[in-house]
Amino acid sequence: MYLGYTNGDVGYIPTVAAYTKGGYEVQTTHFYSNLPVAVTTDSAGRVVELSVALLEFLHER
C-alpha cells in the first residue's frame, strides 16, 4: 500500500506478503522515514480496518 502527501510520515506500509520477501520496504523504510522501529506485519491490515470503520462511521452520519 503506497500513501502520498503524508506530511513526512511513512509513505509505504508493507503487506504481510512483503515481509516474507524482505527487502528495502520491510527492512529499512523506517530508517529513512525517521521512525524508531520498523512497521509491524499487521500495520497494513490495521490501516485498512480503521479506514473502513471511519468510512462506515461517516456514512452513518
Residue range 3-52, pLDDT digits in tens: 666 666 666 788 888 888 888 778 887 777 777 777 888 988 998 999 99
pTM over 0.75: no
Structure confidence at residue 31 (pLDDT): 78
**How many Å apart are CA 47 and CA 12, to the nearest integer?**
12
Helix (H) or strand (E) segment spanning residue 19: helix 16-21
Structural contact between residues 49 and 35, judged by C-beta atoms closer than 8 angstroms: no
Structure confidence at residue 23 (pLDDT): 83
Structure confidence at residue 2 (pLDDT): 62
**How many Å apart are CA 37 and CA 2, to the nearest integer?**
19
